[in-house]
Structure 1
Amino acid sequence: MAEKLLPKALRIRCKCSSDHTDTKDSFSAKQALIYLKAHLWYSTQDVVNALRLFLDAGSDLAGSLTYRYDLVDLTRQVLSKLANQVYLDAISAFQDKDVNALSSQSRKFQQLIKDIDKLLAADDNFLLGPWLESAKKLALNPSELRLYEWNARTQVTMWFYTTKSNQSKLHDYANKFWSGLLEAYYLPRASTYFSHLLRSLKENKSFKMDDWRQEWIAYSNKWQAGTETYPVKARGDALAISKALVEKYFG
């Protein structure tokens, strides 16, 4: 089963057929990959239509904190479902050995992460910064400060008990759609994944799952041990950003 690139709403899983001869940590374009789309309780187009109606009310409700929260959350949901399809299109391109299409879809997927991060940054409720700062405020000395920040970073990402090439079974268990987390953590993970896919096509070799795992697990460990700070206050106009993203992706 392939790893997830993003939080729950963007997760796509795949299983490889059991009759191939490659190792369990690789797959090739010739293998029969069965992609399991996340079950949806609603029509994606219905949600896009609902978002348009929600945006129409913006001129009257933009000053409401609850309206802006729901607007960001609904726009995030719409874009995450679009990312699901973009991911599947990228994998189809990989199976077809279409380097140009794979490159195009991978760029679109990564741009969606950046755009969702920008959207989330416009509301105080969707920021990574407050989570990390609240953990650090509990510390009574420098040693505790480093431990508490590491714990806070680890809880929303990989958790613990990882090896060089095997992630914790709890990885992404407490994942969050937070600005800062998407661009600093999930974007590099997705970028690494697509880079390995493209390299395998260009070199006409199997995708080495274990190689990718080792690279992103190493990055995850580095990020968890980091001390860089993230904004604790929202920035940007949620209504304007949402309108621009709907126009950009849905016309």
Structure 2
Amino acid sequence: MQILLSSPGTRRFLFQDKSSDFPEAHLWYSTQEVVRALWLFLDAGNDLRGSLTYRYDLVDLTRQVLSKLANQVYRDAMIAFRRKDARALNLHGQKFLQIIKDIDVLLASDDNFLLGTWLESAKKLAADPSDMKLYEWNARTQVTMWYDTTTTNQSQLHDYANKFWSGLLEDYYLPRASTYFGHLTKSLEENKNFKLTEWRKRMDSLLKQMASGYEDLSCEGQGRCSCYRKSVGFYSLGALLILGSTEKP
């Protein structure tokens, strides 16, 4: 059951699942409303498929529905960890990683959801190669863990500017999540507490790899290819079916 809570001192509201005593992430809107919105968007596809704004919103909305699915899978993984069920943890962990891969492919279909676009906009401001490297480093660091992260302590601003961009999910969030689930599994196998410091050291290494990368990334979405246009519809319908919404609103 989802209940509506007010955010103190603001006019914002959030939904919180109270169907169990397991801690839940705050949701600014209900899963049911997002699913309903995606159904309505798909229904409008025949008339609006040529509109760039429609395609943008369809990708963004499908991304949100897949994120809702990821929330459920992550919750199942945490329940499995608490129950010390290594097999279930591995199953849900693999599902979670696959969702990250699927979202990355989906986002690659539109120019507006690419890490490469962000990096190129920063590099274009540079006056020389030295500045270009510095600006790209700043651009990469800003959307990940920020500059003051240390080997064992995260920046208080970590993930403050997180983005759903193709390239960022595959190259940063995917290995980050994979490492996290790997450490969870290891703690169950060894019957020991989760080694937070070791995981953060590994995270620091991943961050440095991400921040120091200077490879050229695409600034052009692959939505012009028929295979990618079909993938948007595939992920849209797939997400709805997996979330249990087999009937249109």
Offset, 1:65: 0.6
In the other structure, the counterpart of 1:111 is: 98
Unaligned stretches of 5+ in structure 2? 1-20, 242-249
1:98 aligns to 2:80 (yes or no)? no
Could you say if the C-alpha distance between residues 42 and 174 of structure 1 is closer, same or farther in structure 2, counting changes exceeding 3 Å? closer
Distance 1:184 1:196 in 2: 19
Q: TM-score w.r.t. structure 2 length? A: 0.83
* Segment drifting more, 108-117 vs 234-243: 234-243
In the other structure, the counterpart of 2:13 is: none
Could you say if the C-alpha distance between residues 189 and 146 of structure 1 is closer, same or farther in structure 2, counting changes exceeding 3 Å? same
Offset, 1:47: 1.6
SS of alignment partner, residue 204 of structure 1: coil
1:248 aligns to 2:238 (yes or no)? yes
Distance 1:58 1:193 in 2: 38
* Segment drifting more, 136-145 vs 166-175: 136-145
Could you say if the C-alpha distance between residues 35 and 225 of structure 1 is closer, same or farther in structure 2, counting changes exceeding 3 Å? farther
Offset, 1:46: 2.7
In the other structure, the counterpart of 2:66 is: 79
1:207-234, CA deviations, whole angstroms, 9 ceiling, x for partnerless residues? 1111101101111012101112211000
| Contact 1:132–1:153 (Cα < 8 Å) also in 2 | yes
Structure 2 residue corresponding to 1:209, chosen from 193, 196, 211: 196
In the other structure, the counterpart of 1:131 is: 118
Offset, 1:250: 3.5
Distance 1:141 1:246 in 2: 43
In the other structure, the counterpart of 1:195 is: 182
Give the aligned residue type for 1:201.
L
Offset, 1:124: 0.9
Give the aligned residue type for 2:42.
L
1:1-251 mapped onto 2 (5 Å cutoff): 36-236=23-223, 239-251=229-241
SS of alignment partner, residue 160 of structure 1: coil
Distance 2:49 2:200 in 1: 43
Distance 1:152 1:123 in 2: 20
1:115-174, CA deviations, whole angstroms, 9 ceiling, x for partnerless residues? 111111111111110111111122222211111110111111111112111111111111
1:176-221, CA deviations, whole angstroms, 9 ceiling, x for partnerless residues? 1111111111111000000000111122221111110110111101
Q: TM-score w.r.t. structure 1 length? A: 0.82
| Contact 1:162–1:168 (Cα < 8 Å) also in 2 | yes
Distance 1:41 1:133 in 2: 32
In the other structure, the counterpart of 1:6 is: none
1:33-89, CA deviations, whole angstroms, 9 ceiling, x for partnerless residues? x75422224321232122122112112211101100110111111111111111110
Give the aligned residue type for 1:242.
V
Distance 1:49 1:41 in 2: 15
Distance 1:133 1:53 in 2: 35
Identity of aligned residues (%): 63
Distance 1:244 1:158 in 2: 32
Distance 2:238 2:28 in 1: 25
Distance 1:143 1:42 in 2: 44
Higher relative contact order (CA 8 A, sep 6+): 1
Unaligned stretches of 5+ in structure 1? 1-33
Could you say if the C-alpha distance between residues 222 and 35 of structure 1 is closer, same or farther in structure 2, counting changes exceeding 3 Å? farther
Distance 1:145 1:42 in 2: 40
